[in-house]
A and B are shown apart, each in its own frame.
Chain A
Amino acid sequence: MSDAKFFQRGKIQELRIELNSDKKDRNYIRKKATLKKIVANMTMGNDMSSLYPDVIACMAIPVLEVKKMVYLFLINYSKAKPDMALDAINTFRRDVEDPNPLIRALAIRTMGYIHVDKVTTYLIQPLRHCMRDQDPYVRKTAAVCVAKLFMQDRHLVENAGFIDLLREMLVDSNPSVVANAIAALTEISERSDHIQLKLNMSIASKLVTALNECSEWGQTYILESLMFVVPQEPGDAEMLAERIAPRLQHANSAVVLTAVKVIVYLMNYMTKDEDIANMCKKLSPPLVTLLSSGPEVQYVGLRNILLVIQKHPDILKNDIKIFFCKYNDPIYVKMAKLEIMFRLASEHNVEQVLSELKEYATEVDVDFVRKAVRSIGRLAVKIESTAQKCVEALLELIQTKVNYVVQESIVVIKDIFRKYPNQYESIIGVLCENLDNLDEPEAKAAMIWIIGQYADRIENSDELLDDFLYTFLEETVEVQLALLTATVKLFIKRPTAGQDLVPKVLKWATEEVDNPDLRDRGYIYWRLLSTDVAAAKAVVLSEKPHISTETDNMDPVLLEELLLHIASLSAIYHKAPTTFIPHCKPRFLIPSPVLRRQNYGTGRGTMIHQDSYDHLYGNDNNNGGGSNRDGLDELATSPKQPHHQRLSYMEQSFDQVAEASIGNQEYYEQKINAENPYRTDTTTASATKGGVDLMSFDL
């Protein structure tokens, strides 16, 4: 019997007549069919709400299937018809007393969905009753219903004793009830300003016992709640982690990843390094297994692995092969794998990694190929012993003449030059053969940087630059800045070759271009060159700070926060949840006697450590305070970093990140730019311009 026929658009009047028909309807066959039509229409988006009274009249029919459809209807339309929803209350009240637990549960569940104040009022008493129902199915439904109720009326739930009832349910004999109760409590805690879930070891231990017996979803709820345990004694975290570890072998990947999250969290509270190393060993195989699932699960797994291995580099360090890309992996999986391959690359496996990357560079997907090429360059920067091979690989790729491969290669070769000065200049000739095809700003800027940097070794560097300068005014700022600096470098290194170009560029930069950075930089060079060429030389040709791929690492504070959100959306976007999810409670490592000191890199650990708590504590306050997170008092009394100081740290770290991602902006030049004593607004700028004689530095 197909349901498709019910999808015909039914006329409301016809349906009403059918529903109210007095014809003999043995076992409600006719009514059932009509209700199906109504539900079908409802799902097609046709407004059936005017049938509300007629449908309510069917509530008393003692057939489960009918009841379910009526309830479905009520859930859908009660908001629109709040007055009529009250008519349903009597039946609801009868149903929650029904001898059949299924009906009791169904009634309480449906009532919870009807967001009408009066219905809610009538829900309180039966709900309390159901939470202590003799049947576990009813109890577990009731537990979820409290969370539902909380969404509608927080005060009601907080004040009517429901939280205590839920707490009682945590020691229920039925594991599914326990799981749902903890799920409801977690949900409420995440949304409430006044309630903060906090579990002690004895409750945690009971929950873990229930873990072994409840459904897979129940397991994720219980595991999630263990994030609210703060181990206080040595051995607590170890014991919990040990008991959770079997969950790593569950068939449900949500269970596995949540278990990973809890264990990674608990590792912060483990006192012995060998325990941590031991746990790391246990984490690798389940993470590998995630990668044998479907692409979506793989993707989530990969994004999370990227976080975990930044904190615990030992995990998966010997498993790089499983991250090798298959040609038919979805693009997003390939991209995520590539990122991890790069992280796991080390002296031991670099040959394999390089040969993989070379392979990927011949694939068809442009974005993937680009990323592969870029990774080859980053690999050279990361691992010195392989730099030579990487350069050879890049040269081979340039020979293919595939335009975007060539451009991407040039961009990374610039990084290699920067990292290993005076080693690979012999390849400049090859690069110069490809100038005409460069059309991407980044590649152009990179090439121009190379020409400027090696202006004295490239015989026709002045001609090359002149070619680029031909379109100066049409270029992007990135390219213009590069041209400006390169021309000045040329001039300083080979004054005769550069003397015709420099005035031209400086004039453009200061007069024809609207970008303040470019203009400012133009003025600085102008001044420097006109006043003290030796100083100009010292500044422009000063030794560049070293670049390394270390700076690609995620900000340690952010990493720490994201690790507390493994498996969730923020762990996929690698963004703090508070930045994109409204009303999200921030999480942080709550201090305890066994909390390990967080190592946020060398030299700046202490400050950031304090700073991060300070920062989070502030947030917590904003959220209304009143939470019972012990241990925070102690922090509150410690001297706080003044706000601006925190900001300056943040800025500093962002600078570093930006510097890293750009790789090799002219660091010193920027710095000078920032401290520019000549920084002037537009009007005074033009005055200055008038005052400097262009010819005065014509050497």
Chain B
Amino acid sequence: MIESLFVLSSTGKVIIEKHWHELIPRRIVDYFNEQVSKAMAAGEDVTREDVLPIISSPKYQLVNIYRDGLTYLSPVTKEVDPMMVFEFLHRIHDIIQEYFGSVSETIIKENFVTVYQLLEEMMDDGFPLTTEPNALKEIVPAPTMLNKVINTMGATTSVSTRKMPHGMSNLPWRKAGVKYNSNEIFFDIIEEIDAIVDSTGKAVSCEAHGTIQTNSRLSGMPDLTLTFVNPRLVDDCSFHPSVRFNKWDSDKVLSFVPPDGQFRLMSYRVNLSSQQNLPVQVKPSINVGANGAKFDITVSLRNTDGKALENVVLTLPLHKSTTTLTAQCNVGQYMFDPVGKVLRWDIGKIVPRERAPVISGSFGFGAAGSDAAANAGYNIGVEFLINSHSLSGLKVDVLKLFNESYKPYKGVRTMTKAGRYQVRA
């Protein structure tokens, strides 16, 4: 089980420290910081993200995650399930985010009493306890405007008037007594493409992951049934705990009582045919010589159902010995970061049947004749999004509401975007 938690600032200072069993001395944090800097000193390309999520020390196994500049560190001594520790640490981060809008050292310090209360509720004796945001908000009030006013006015809610948390009902994710003047629910179907594409435009590997992000603002205890036109398109799904699994298994419908607010209803893998057409084609050509290289990259649309590609950004990490870069592009703007050695080309929007964006130029290596530089491979990271488009073609059919009499407003949006999408040059 999880024994202790340290939240560390980007400089490795302890911001939050919590022990559920024995007190683990802070020395362990020093050890951890040393290991991190040692790992990062191993090579110029090693970043904080490359540090192992589990580091061995003589006495403890240091399970850690790194998010938004903060390190969540949990030293463990027993044969624990690190996956559970990771999930729990992620959950802490997400909950802090949910409560305070964003996560940073300052935000945690400004709200540390709430954070401590949250930790107290989220874990007991190393067992994760309540981690559903809805249930937590019942027990530990979020710092809303109203709460602040109540606090300063001195109108404390006394113990006797507090209601029992609904964490123990059979619907731990939903609180009772939710009330809205206008009832509405929104579904965002977002599909992300992870792909590795070779320089000829052929996908070496390609998968797409979909999620249905939901924002529910419905009163009472609504019981919803969401049906799709083509549920068979999705494969290997995982669901929010509210979804009745058996219903999906037998009828391929999503039947659930939603939590209040934002939540991820479902995530799934999209069945891609082996010859799936990707929405964009990036054609790079990089000719490397001893002292530098000439390059040009063309981007063209493919198979987007006539939709435009938006927020298109290409990044080309260059070899560390690169010192100079000159380029021209017909669309958008490019920027060369001489410190991070990255070329970033911000294309913006690509509309079908307009001329294809092209960038061409050259870059030079400082230390001439370096074999490693001359032989290094290049990869281009691609970002884009397509509104009102889903790669899989998944479509919502109807949403039915039971158990409540009102007629909610229902909204569905779809979007396809690049996940980890890269092109090899």
Contact = CB atoms under 8 A, between A and B. Distances in A.
Nearest to A67: B159
A27 B154 CA distance: 6
Interface string B286-325: 0000000000000000000000000000000101100000
A69 B49 CA distance: 36
A100 B160 contact: yes
Interface stretch (A36-44, A271-279, A606-614): A36-44
A135 B164 contact: yes
Interface in B79-104: 79-84, 86-87, 90
Given A285-B269, A326-B420, A569-B54, A63 B158 contact: yes
Interface size class of B (residues with CB under 8 A): 35 or more
B16 interface: yes
- Chain A at the B interface: mostly helix, strand, loop or mixed? helix
Nearest to B164: A101
B54 A217 contact: no
Given A144-B125, A286-B236, A365-B43, A324 B205 contact: yes
Contacts of A288: 236, 269
Contacts of B355: none
Given A297-B83, A321-B205, A246 B371 contact: no
A26 B273 CA distance: 68
A15 interface: no
Contacts of A402: 371-372, 375
B269 A246 contact: no
Contacts of A328: 379, 381, 420, 422
A296 B113 contact: no
Q: Which of B53, B77, B165, B170 has the most CB of A within 10 A?
A: B53
A110 to B, nearest CB: 10
Contacts of A301: 83
A64 B162 contact: yes
B245 A43 contact: no
B232 interface: no
B127 A183 contact: yes
B184 interface: no
B52 interface: yes
A122 interface: no
Nearest to B317: A327
A330 B21 contact: no
B397 interface: no
Contacts of B320: 364
Interface in A330-389: 330-332, 352, 356, 359, 362-366
Q: Which 8 A-B pairs have the closest CB atoms?
A: A362-B377, A285-B236, A321-B205, A254-B84, A296-B53, A327-B379, A217-B128, A2-B110
27 contacts: A2-B110, A3-B111, A4-B109, A6-B112, A27-B155, A39-B116, A45-B17, A63-B156, A64-B157, A72-B116, A103-B159, A137-B167, A215-B241, A216-B241, A217-B84, A246-B245, A252-B87, A254-B86, A257-B81, A288-B236, A292-B269, A299-B54, A332-B52, A362-B376, A365-B43, A401-B371, A569-B76
Given A366-B43, A569-B54, A581-B79, 16 more contacts: A1-B152, A62-B158, A62-B159, A65-B156, A67-B159, A141-B124, A180-B127, A212-B245, A220-B81, A297-B83, A299-B54, A301-B83, A326-B196, A328-B381, A403-B371, A568-B80
Interface of A: 1-4, 6-7, 26-29, 32, 36, 39-40, 43, 45, 62-65, 67-69, 72, 100-103, 109, 112-113, 135-137, 140-141, 144-145, 147-148, 151, 174-176, 180, 183, 187, 190, 212-213, 215-217, 220-221, 224, 246, 249-254, 256-258, 285-286, 288-289, 292, 294-297, 299-301, 321-322, 324, 326-328, 330-332, 352, 356, 359, 362-366, 400-403, 565, 567-570, 572-573, 577, 581-582, 584
